[in-house]
Amino acid sequence: MTGRRGGRPLVPAYLSTGGVARPSRTHLERLSVLTGSGERAPAELPAAQAALLEELEHGSLTVVEAAALLRLPVSAVLVLAADLIDRDLVLARAPIPPARRFDPDLLKRVADGLRDLKHP
C-alpha cells in the first residue's frame, strides 16, 4: 500500500460503487470507525467491497483511512461501507468526539475547592 504512484488512475472512482454516491445509511462520517464483523464474505461480493473488507481484516480503520488505502474518494467509501454494514459484514462506530479543553477557570475553582477541603 505504500507505493502509490503518480499519474492518472486508470479506473475511475464511480466504478467502485457502480455509479452510486448516496450511501444507504447516512450516519457515517469521515471519521466513523469501521471494523470487520468477522463473518465470512460471500463470494459474489463486488470487488470494491471485498477490497474494503480486506483492508479491515488487519484492524479497524476510519473511513478516511480506508479511502486513502483504497485510493478512492471518501464519498465512494461511505457507500461501500454502508453496503457492507447492510450485509452485517462491517460494524461502524461513531467518531470519537475531539476532547474539549476544560475551562481553565473551572479547573482553578475546583483546585481552590480541593485546597480548601485540605486546609479548612
Residues that contact another protein, how many (by CB under 8 A): 42
- Options 30, 93, 108, 109; binder of another protein; rule CB under 8 A: 30
From the number of C-beta atoms within 10 Å of its C-beta (0-12, 13-18, 19+), residue 4 rates as exposed
Residue 11 vs 107, nearer CB to another protein: 11
Locate 54 and state its grid cell: 480486506
Q: Does 3 bind another protein (CB under 8 A)?
A: yes
The amino acid occupying position 53 is: L
Provide the minimum distance between the beta carbon of 98 and another protein in the complex, in angstroms, as a whole number: 19
Ranges within 41-100 binding another protein (CB under 8 A): 43, 46-48, 50-52, 54, 57-58, 70-76, 78
What distance in Å separates the CA atoms of residue 34 and residue 72, rounded to the nearest whole number? Answer: 16
Strand partners, 92: 34
